Amino acid sequence: MKTNIKATSLEMTPAIADYIKSKISYLDKLAVGYENSLAEVEVGKITNHHKNGEVMFAEINLTIDGKFFRQVVNDNDLYAAIDQAKDKIERDAFSYLKKKNHLLRRGGRVVKNFIKGFYPGRKEKGLPS
Protein backbone atom coordinates (compact mmCIF):
# COMPACT_ATOMS: atom_id res chain seq x y z
CA MET A 1 0.00 0.00 0.00
CA LYS A 2 1.24 3.44 -0.86
CA THR A 3 1.04 6.00 1.96
CA ASN A 4 1.16 9.79 1.66
CA ILE A 5 1.51 11.88 4.83
CA LYS A 6 0.90 15.63 4.92
CA ALA A 7 0.97 18.22 7.71
CA THR A 8 -1.08 21.43 7.61
CA SER A 9 -0.25 24.40 9.85
CA LEU A 10 1.99 22.09 11.82
CA GLU A 11 5.62 21.01 11.60
CA MET A 12 5.95 17.35 10.61
CA THR A 13 8.35 15.84 13.11
CA PRO A 14 9.86 12.36 12.78
CA ALA A 15 7.93 11.31 15.90
CA ILE A 16 4.58 12.23 14.34
CA ALA A 17 5.50 10.54 11.03
CA ASP A 18 6.58 7.35 12.82
CA TYR A 19 3.40 7.31 14.89
CA ILE A 20 1.24 7.67 11.78
CA LYS A 21 3.16 4.93 9.96
CA SER A 22 2.78 2.57 12.92
CA LYS A 23 -0.97 3.20 13.06
CA ILE A 24 -1.48 2.88 9.31
CA SER A 25 0.52 -0.36 9.13
CA TYR A 26 -2.58 -2.34 10.17
CA LEU A 27 -4.41 -1.01 7.13
CA ASP A 28 -1.66 -2.62 5.02
CA LYS A 29 -2.82 -5.99 6.35
CA LEU A 30 -6.38 -5.26 5.24
CA ALA A 31 -5.22 -4.31 1.75
CA VAL A 32 -3.20 -7.48 1.09
CA GLY A 33 -4.04 -8.73 -2.39
CA TYR A 34 -5.25 -5.37 -3.70
CA GLU A 35 -2.65 -3.73 -5.92
CA ASN A 36 -3.89 -0.15 -6.18
CA SER A 37 -4.44 0.64 -2.52
CA LEU A 38 -3.58 4.12 -1.30
CA ALA A 39 -3.68 5.77 2.12
CA GLU A 40 -3.48 9.55 2.34
CA VAL A 41 -3.11 10.97 5.84
CA GLU A 42 -3.32 14.66 6.66
CA VAL A 43 -2.78 16.01 10.16
CA GLY A 44 -2.61 19.53 11.48
CA LYS A 45 -4.23 22.43 13.24
CA ILE A 46 -7.62 23.70 12.17
CA THR A 47 -6.62 27.28 12.93
CA ASN A 48 -3.70 29.12 14.47
CA HIS A 49 -6.00 31.54 16.26
CA HIS A 50 -7.55 29.12 18.77
CA LYS A 51 -5.51 27.69 21.63
CA ASN A 52 -8.05 25.50 23.49
CA GLY A 53 -10.61 22.94 22.44
CA GLU A 54 -10.65 20.70 19.40
CA VAL A 55 -8.02 22.45 17.32
CA MET A 56 -6.13 19.41 15.98
CA PHE A 57 -7.43 17.22 13.19
CA ALA A 58 -6.56 13.96 11.47
CA GLU A 59 -7.94 13.05 8.06
CA ILE A 60 -7.48 9.64 6.47
CA ASN A 61 -8.46 8.89 2.87
CA LEU A 62 -8.18 5.21 2.00
CA THR A 63 -8.71 3.59 -1.39
CA ILE A 64 -8.93 -0.20 -1.55
CA ASP A 65 -10.06 -2.03 -4.68
CA GLY A 66 -11.54 1.16 -6.14
CA LYS A 67 -13.64 1.82 -3.02
CA PHE A 68 -13.00 5.14 -1.26
CA PHE A 69 -13.16 5.55 2.53
CA ARG A 70 -12.74 8.88 4.33
CA GLN A 71 -12.65 9.88 7.99
CA VAL A 72 -11.98 13.26 9.57
CA VAL A 73 -11.63 13.61 13.35
CA ASN A 74 -11.16 16.77 15.40
CA ASP A 75 -9.69 16.56 18.90
CA ASN A 76 -7.62 18.58 21.33
CA ASP A 77 -4.75 16.04 21.09
CA LEU A 78 -3.16 15.14 17.74
CA TYR A 79 -2.34 11.57 18.71
CA ALA A 80 -5.89 10.94 19.96
CA ALA A 81 -7.28 12.29 16.68
CA ILE A 82 -5.02 9.94 14.70
CA ASP A 83 -6.11 6.96 16.82
CA GLN A 84 -9.82 7.75 16.43
CA ALA A 85 -9.57 8.27 12.67
CA LYS A 86 -7.63 5.02 12.25
CA ASP A 87 -10.19 3.07 14.29
CA LYS A 88 -13.12 4.46 12.31
CA ILE A 89 -11.60 3.88 8.89
CA GLU A 90 -10.44 0.40 9.90
CA ARG A 91 -14.01 -0.47 10.89
CA ASP A 92 -15.41 0.84 7.59
CA ALA A 93 -12.83 -0.95 5.42
CA PHE A 94 -13.11 -4.23 7.35
CA SER A 95 -16.90 -4.16 7.04
CA TYR A 96 -16.70 -3.58 3.27
CA LEU A 97 -14.13 -6.33 2.71
CA LYS A 98 -16.08 -8.76 4.89
CA LYS A 99 -19.27 -8.06 2.95
CA LYS A 100 -17.46 -8.48 -0.37
CA ASN A 101 -16.01 -11.82 0.75
CA HIS A 102 -19.43 -12.97 1.98
CA LEU A 103 -21.03 -12.20 -1.37
CA LEU A 104 -18.23 -14.06 -3.16
CA ARG A 105 -18.71 -17.15 -0.98
CA ARG A 106 -22.48 -17.02 -1.33
CA GLY A 107 -22.13 -16.90 -5.10
CA GLY A 108 -19.72 -19.84 -4.99
CA ARG A 109 -22.20 -21.79 -2.89
CA VAL A 110 -24.93 -21.27 -5.49
CA VAL A 111 -22.66 -22.41 -8.30
CA LYS A 112 -21.59 -25.50 -6.33
CA ASN A 113 -25.21 -26.48 -5.61
CA PHE A 114 -26.14 -25.94 -9.24
CA ILE A 115 -23.29 -28.19 -10.38
CA LYS A 116 -24.41 -30.86 -7.90
CA GLY A 117 -27.84 -30.75 -9.49
CA PHE A 118 -29.68 -29.08 -6.65
CA TYR A 119 -31.19 -25.70 -6.95
CA PRO A 120 -34.21 -24.16 -5.23
CA GLY A 121 -37.51 -24.80 -6.95
CA ARG A 122 -36.62 -28.24 -8.34
CA LYS A 123 -39.11 -30.12 -6.18
CA GLU A 124 -41.92 -27.67 -6.95
CA LYS A 125 -41.47 -28.43 -10.65
CA GLY A 126 -41.66 -32.19 -10.03
CA LEU A 127 -38.02 -32.83 -10.93
CA PRO A 128 -35.80 -35.18 -8.86
CA SER A 129 -33.42 -33.42 -6.52
Phi, psi of 122 (to 5 degrees): -70, -45
Taking 80 as the threshold, does the pLDDT of residue 118 lie above it?
Answer: no
| pTM, entire model | 0.74
- pLDDT digit string, tens, across residues 47-95: 776 666 678 999 999 998 888 999 999 999 999 999 999 999 999 988 8
Mean pLDDT, residues 11-32 taken together:
88
Model confidence at 33, pLDDT cuts 50, 70, 90, reads confident
Among 27-41, 80-94, 111-125, name the most confident range.
80-94
User: Residue 56 in contact with residue 25, Cβ under 8 Å?
Assistant: no
Strand partners, 2: 38
Considering the four listed CATH numbers 3.30.830.10, 2.40.50.140, 3.60.10.10, 3.30.160.100, the one that applies to the domain covering 2-93 is: 3.30.160.100
CA distance 34 to 4: 17
Q: Where are the domains of the chain?
A: 2-93
